[in-house]
Amino acid sequence: MKNRIKLTFLLFIAIVPIFCVGIDLLMSVIQPDPGSGGALTFDESIINQVIYFSVWTTLITSFWGITAVLNYFRKNSKKIAWAESDNVLTMVVSYQIVVFLIYTFTFIAARDGIVGFSTWYKVLKSVLEHWILPFVVIGYYILRERESTLTSNEFMKKKAWINCVIPFAYIFFISIRGLMIVKYSDKADWFTPFPYSQLDPTDQPVYLWLPGMISFIALFYFVSSLVNFTSIKLNNKISIKYKFVR
């Protein structure tokens, strides 16, 4: 029974994220959002996905989930090692928590400024991606038997910084893309050069967007450290009692 519960978690984590991205990608072309200013081409729809860190997080989560499902049916000797790592799952959980908190607080504080509730498919995507998926991932993380022997301090010294690599790559990507658009195209042709207004050098002073970018990258060091610390504390209380059979 425990194995079936584990597989259910993993299948949800593997399928739902890619479904969310896929339905928004396709339906934004087939049935465009009237609030977005008109129909998108398929190429524009792809761009409109990859410029958001929430989509990066969703795809990373799905990729991890698919690999974990494959591992579920493999012998121990043939499993993909990184998909079994507590540290990799800590990274996925950390990204999910940050995206969940940012999206939820933005939704509460400035709902008019958030995209996601103007068409049925965007409502479905937003609810699944931003409010249900994070809790499923966190639930699996808590119930999963912990294997890492690293202490909290050791994790902060050796592993936590790794969780900043993808956010750094994301900031680098949107910065290069945005600067290329601003410098080498007419303003009338700009297609969301910077997806987040708080990090937009064309709209914000340098003392806001530069610390914002640095803080965004550094945030994941501290969040992942806190998530790992919490996992260690909860392991003896919850996961040992309700742990999944591997």
How far is residue 199's CA from residue 209's CA, in Å, rounded to a whole number?
Answer: 4
Helices and strands per DSSP (H, E), number in the chain: 10, 0
Give the lowest-confidence range in 31-40, 124-133, 147-156, 210-219: 31-40
| pLDDT score recorded for residue 146 | 82
Is 116 a residue whose pLDDT tops 80? no
Percentage of residues of the chain with pLDDT beyond 90? 70
User: In which band, very low, low, confident or very high, does the pLDDT at 113 lie, cut at 50, 70 and 90?
Assistant: low
| pLDDT score recorded for residue 118 | 76
| pLDDT score recorded for residue 126 | 92
How far is residue 47's CA from residue 191's CA, in Å, rounded to a whole number?
Answer: 9
The 10 Å CB-count burial string (b at 16+, else e) for 92-114 is bbbbbbbbbebbeeebeeeeeee
How far is residue 164's CA from residue 135's CA, in Å, rounded to a whole number?
Answer: 22
**Which residue bears the tokens 């900043």?**
164
Average pLDDT over residues 92-97: 98
Tell me the C-alpha to C-alpha distance, in Å, between residue 217 and each of 53, 86, 160, 168, 244: 11, 21, 12, 6, 33
Q: Is residue 159 within 8 Å of 149, Cβ to Cβ?
A: no
* Predicted TM-score of the model (pTM): 0.92
How many Å separate Cα 52 from the centre of its chain? 9
Domain range list for the chain: 2-242
Note the pLDDT tens digit of each residue in 171-206: 999 999 999 999 998 888 888 899 998 899 999 999
